[in-house]
Amino acid sequence: MALLNILQYPDERLHKVAAPVAEVDGRIKTLVANMFETMYEARGIGLAATQVDVHERVVVMDLTEDKSEPRVFINPVITHKDGETTYEEGCLSVPGIYDTVTRAERVTVEALNENGEKFTLEADGLLAICIQHELDHLMGKVFVEHLSQLKQNRIKTKLKKRQKHNL
């Protein structure tokens, strides 16, 4: 397994729309394993392939502290949304930035698992929020784009300044 480089906002590659996975093969299984290793190392709860500069519809997540519930979503599609909730979100591609985002309270998602088997999952709470957040990445959208233009500009300026100092 290998650690992958996580793209940092406002990197333009985060805005690419991910293509569907044609076949769940060894390459995709290796990608999934590497994404889990990268996500756990970065102390995240979700990671979309877009964030590691692979523009295919693959998401991994694990909301547990002890890494006991790894979930894989290949070619995920939200088929139903219900209710509304707000949650303070963060993102591995937008380090150190947290803000409140409004999303659906409950979602139904259809996807393939790491073995290429189709499944349907009804989710609410943090799992529903995480699914929506990661699927946004697959559509080329970062959570800060749910915020006002003023907040987006402030975040871009802050992160560009931070990246300049880290070079």
Whether 130 has a binding-site annotation, put simply, is: no
- pLDDT tens profile 102-151: 999 999 999 999 999 999 999 999 999 999 999 999 999 999 999 999 99
User: Which of 56, 89, 114, 134 is the catalytic position?
Assistant: 134
Lowest mean pLDDT among 19-28, 86-95, 151-160: 151-160
The third-level CATH classification (topology) of the domain covering 12-166 is Peptide Deformylase (3.90.45)
User: In the predicted model, is pLDDT for residue 166 greater than 80?
Assistant: no
Whether residue 133 is annotated as binding a ligand: the answer is: yes
- Per-residue pLDDT band for 39 (boundaries 50, 70, 90) equals very high
The secondary structure of the chain, three-state, reads CCCCCCCCCCCHHHHCCCECCCCCCHHHHHHHHHHHHHHHHCCCCEEEHHHHCCCECEEEECCCCCCCCCEEEEEEEEEEEECCEEEEEEECCEEEEEEEEEECCEEEEEEECCCCCEEEEEEEHHHHHHHHHHHHHHCCCCHHHHCCHHHHHHHHHHHHHHHHHHC
134 in active site: yes
Domain layout of the chain by residue ranges: 12-166
